[in-house]
Structure 1
Amino acid sequence: MFNEIGIIDQLATAQLERLLPDGLRAPHFHVLNHLTRLGDGRTPVAIARAFQVTKGAMTNTLQRLEARSLIRIEPDPVDGRAKRVFLTDDGRRMRDRAVGRVAGFMADLAPVVSDDDLAVLLPRLMRLRMHLDRARD
């Protein structure tokens, strides 16, 4: 099972990176998408935990996004040692462009994975993900 999930992840990530606009990489898109879905103002440490990567790896990703003006990093108003990450308008537009480009690929999957298939698969995959997420703590 995990072998198949790993292969699917590898193939899907390669396809995603072919579709992403302007040299955006999968980790960058995932951070933009994460901030869009869950909201601005998260700390780099919280984002690193969410992706289960080291703080150093996340710092590198955030620096690349900031250099492209897709995010801004500000001091935490309460804890001066901490930082907070915010999407810029350019970051929101880039994420939306990326989602638009990926939508066609997703539509091409419809003959392979129907809505009925998704109705069965998604709850089971979500249950597995939630179990693995809890097990990491």
Structure 2
Amino acid sequence: MPSDQTDTYFAFIYEIGIINQIGTAFLETRLPSGLLVSHFGVVSHLIRVRDGATPLELARAFQVPKPSMTHTLAGLEKHGFVEMRPNPADKRSKQVWLTIAGKQFRDDALLKMLPLFSALGEQFPPNRIAEILPDLTEFRTLFDRLRNDTE
């Protein structure tokens, strides 16, 4: 691959990383004391993908070791945002279920993001973002699959 193409792909991934870093910092300063973006991410994942995932499934989805995910889930459970229930398909494991408080935690965090969304909307109106999203989703899906295929 020519170096200018390598530079383009790297710049694209680098920009996404910076956007993630800025967004993470913005969100984390607005979360209740003792909660991190990792907590928000797990709750959002359970809402977006599926409630009732096992800790191992969540660890794989977030590409973290199972003990790290267990620690994150313990924090969520301590705050009453998730419940750990026996897995009916495998009695040795548990499933993670959101509580009403967990859904409210996510909703409250999103409300605190509204000032950022409003400021972004001045330069990037919702219709422009909606046009970009399918390409980003396709890129993320392929990027994730390639990551898994080249490990």
Instruction: Report deviation, 1:63.
Output: 0.8
Q: Runs of 4+ in structure 1 displaced over 3 angstroms?
A: none
Distance 2:73 2:98 in 1: 11
Q: Identity, % of aligned pairs?
A: 42
Distance 1:16 1:27 in 2: 11
Task: Answer yes or no: is 1:93 the counterpart of 2:104.
Answer: yes
Unaligned runs of 5+ in 1: none
State how 1:46-125 maps to structure 2 within 5 Å: 46-125=57-136
Q: Considering only aligned residues, what root-mean-square deviation do their CA atoms show, in Å?
A: 1.6
Q: Name the CA shift for 1:114/1:122 in 2 (closer, same or farther; >3 Å).
A: same
Instruction: Report deviation, 1:106.
Output: 1.2
Which one scores higher on RCO, CA 8 angstroms, separation ≥ 6? 1
Unaligned runs of 5+ in 2: 1-11
Q: Name the CA shift for 1:34/1:115 in 2 (closer, same or farther; >3 Å).
A: same
The alignment of Structure 1 onto Structure 2 pairs a total of residues equal to: 137
Task: Answer yes or no: is 1:31 the counterpart of 2:42.
Answer: yes
Instruction: Report deviation, 1:71.
Output: 0.7
> Which has the higher mean CA deviation after the structures are superposed, 86-95 or 108-117?
108-117
Instruction: Report deviation, 1:22.
Output: 4.2
Instruction: Report deviation, 1:38.
Output: 2.5
Structure index of larger Rg: 2
Equivalent AA in structure 2 for residue 81 of structure 1: R
Instruction: Report deviation, 1:53.
Output: 1.5
Distance 2:21 2:144 in 1: 20
Preserved contact between residue 19 and residue 98 of structure 1 (Cα < 8 Å) = yes
